Amino acid sequence: MPEILNGPLSRRKALTTAGTVVGSALLPSSSGGYSPRAPQPILLMSPPPRYAIFTAIDIDIGSATPFFRRLRTSMLMLPASVEITIGFGASLFDKGVPFQRPRQLRQMPSFPGDLLHPDFTHGDVLIQICAAATEEAQSATHDLLSQTPHHRARWSVHGFRMDNREENGRALTRNLFGFTEGYGNPEREGSQRALREMIEVPDTAREPVWARAGTYQVVRLIRLAQALWDADPVNVQEKIIGRRRDGTRLDGTAPFANTPFGDADGSTTPLDSHVRRANPRLPEIEPPRLFRRSFSYSRGRDAFGNLDEGLLFVCYQADLTRGFEAVQRRLAGEALGRYTLTTGGGYFFVPAQLDPDRYWDR
C-alpha cells in the first residue's frame, strides 16, 4: 500500500510538503474531498466521473521546465472534485527531454482500417480532466490551460458516460450503439492487486526508474456509423458484439461470468464477434491485459454533413504489446469493423506522479 493512501491528507498540507509529489492525481479521501497525492494509475482504477475532456498539446521544448512547473502549480488551484491525469507522448522525448523514454512508448501506428487525421492524433502531452458536471470539467480545463503558457493546443475531445454506474466492482456505461460496456473489465475491488499488475509498470520491468508504477495509456477516437448500425435489428447487433445489450452472453451466461464459450464453431457466439475476438477465452490465448475506461463523444456534423460521434476508447496497461496491441491485432476483421472508423488518438505514458523536480531537471 503506497504511503500516499495511508490516511487522509489535508490538500493544502500535501501541496506544500517540501520535495514531495503534488497534485498530479486525486483520490477520494475520507473527508469526502480528494487527496492530491495518489499515484495516477491508482486514480484511474477508480470509477470514472461522468464527463471528461481530453486535451492534447504540444510544448516548446526550450520552456519545458517552466511549463511543467506552471502546470503542476495550476493543477493545485483546481477544485478538489476534478480528476486530472497527465500523459506524455513519444514526441516529447523526440524533442529531447532530459530523461529516458519509456521503452514501449512510440507514436501510435495506423492499424489496418484506421484513417488517422493529423488534427486529432498524437501530441506531446495529454491532459485528461474528469468531473461530475460538464461545466466543471470545462472550466477546470480552461483555467489549467490559460494559466500554463508555453504550449499550443493540438486537439481536444469532450467525453461522456451515459448511464454511468458501478456493479460488481466494474464501472459500466452504455455506449452510443446502445450496448453496456465494462463487464469484461477486470474487477476493481477484491482483486486490486491483480488490476495493478495489469496496468502498472512493475519495478522489475526494464524501464526507466521514473516510469515505474506508471501506465501506458491508449486513446482511440473511434467514429461509429450510427445510421448503419441502427438499420440492423437488435438480434443482429447482438451477434456482432457477442453479448446482449444488457451484457448477458449469447448462450445465456450471466454478464460478469468469465466461463469459456461452449460453442467451438461459433454457432451461438460468432467467432468474428467483438467479445469473442477481444477475449476468446481459450487456454492458448492470454486474457486481455488491459483496463478500459472509455467515454462516448459527439462532435456534431463534419464538413460533409456526417455525424461525428462515437467512442473515445481509452485503456491502460503495463505492457503495450501484451495489452492493447494484442487485442487490437485480434480485432482485425471483426464484424464490428464495418461500423467503426478510428480517426485519431495516440499512445501516452502516464507517470505515477507528475513530479518534474524529481526527474526533469537532472
Q: Which residues are at the interface with ligand HEM (CB under 6 A)?
A: 175, 177, 179, 181-184, 220, 222, 241, 243, 247, 274-275, 278-279, 288, 311, 313, 324, 327-328, 331, 336, 340
Q: Shortest Cβ distance from residue 157 to ligand HEM (Å)?
A: 15
How many other CB atoms are there within 10 angstroms of residue 115's CB atom?
Answer: 10
The nearer residue to ligand HEM, 275 or 335, going by C-beta atoms, is 275
The nearer residue to ligand HEM, 161 or 274, going by C-beta atoms, is 274
Residue 60's nearest CA partner among 47, 49, 45, 70 is 70
Q: Shortest Cβ distance from residue 183 to ligand HEM (Å)?
A: 4
The nearer residue to ligand HEM, 40 or 328, going by C-beta atoms, is 328
Residue 273's nearest CA partner among 238, 241, 235 is 241
Q: Shortest Cβ distance from residue 91 to ligand HEM (Å)?
A: 22
The nearer residue to ligand HEM, 28 or 287, going by C-beta atoms, is 287
Q: Shortest Cβ distance from residue 302 to ligand HEM (Å)?
A: 18
42/74 Cα distance (integer angstroms): 22
- What are the beta bridge partners of residue 55? 127, 156
Q: Find the distance separating the first CA and the last CA of the chain, reported in whole Å.
A: 28
Q: Which residues are within 8 A (CB) of 194 and not within 5 positions of it... i.e. 6 or more apart? A: 186
User: Dihedral of CA 319/321/326/329: which sign?
Assistant: positive
The nearer residue to ligand HEM, 158 or 170, going by C-beta atoms, is 170
Q: Which residue is nearest to ligand HEM (CB)?
A: 184
Q: Shortest Cβ distance from residue 258 to ligand HEM (Å)?
A: 7
108/126 Cα distance (integer angstroms): 14
The nearer residue to ligand HEM, 116 or 241, going by C-beta atoms, is 241
Task: Give the 3-state secondary structure percentages of the chain, helix then strand then coil, rounded to 5.
Answer: 30, 25, 45
Q: Shortest Cβ distance from residue 96 to ligand HEM (Å)?
A: 31
